[in-house]
Copies of this chain bind each other. A is one copy, B any other.
Amino acid sequence: MAERDLVIGFDADDTLWHNESIFERSHERYRALLAHYHDTATVDRTLYATEMRNLELYGYGVKGFTLSAIETAIQLTAGKISAREIQELIDLGRDMLAHPVDLLEGAADTLAALAPQHRMLLITKGDLLDQERKLAKSELAGHFRAVEIVSEKNADTYAHILRRHAIKPERFLMVGNSLKSDIVPVLALGGAGAHVPYHLLWAHERTETVVDAPGRFFTIESLRQLPAVIEALA
- Does A93 sit at the interface, judged by CB under 8 A? yes
Highest count of chain B CB atoms <10 Å: which of A67, A77, A90:
A67
A205-220 Cβ-contact flags toward B at 8 Å (1 or 0): 0000000000000000
| CB closest residue in chain B, given A59 | B129
Residues of chain B within 8 A of A94, CB atoms compared: 57
Q: B87 contacts A57, CB within 8 Å? A: no
CB distance from A212 to the nearest CB of B (A): 32
- Does A192 sit at the interface, judged by CB under 8 A? no
Cα–Cα distance between A149 and B149 once the two chains are bound (Å): 9
Highest count of chain B CB atoms <10 Å: which of A64, A81, A90, A128:
A128
- Does A79 sit at the interface, judged by CB under 8 A? yes
Residues of chain B within 8 A of A57, CB atoms compared: 94, 97-98
Q: A87 contacts B71, CB within 8 Å? A: yes
- Does A177 sit at the interface, judged by CB under 8 A? no
- Does A151 sit at the interface, judged by CB under 8 A? yes
Q: A67 contacts B90, CB within 8 Å? A: yes
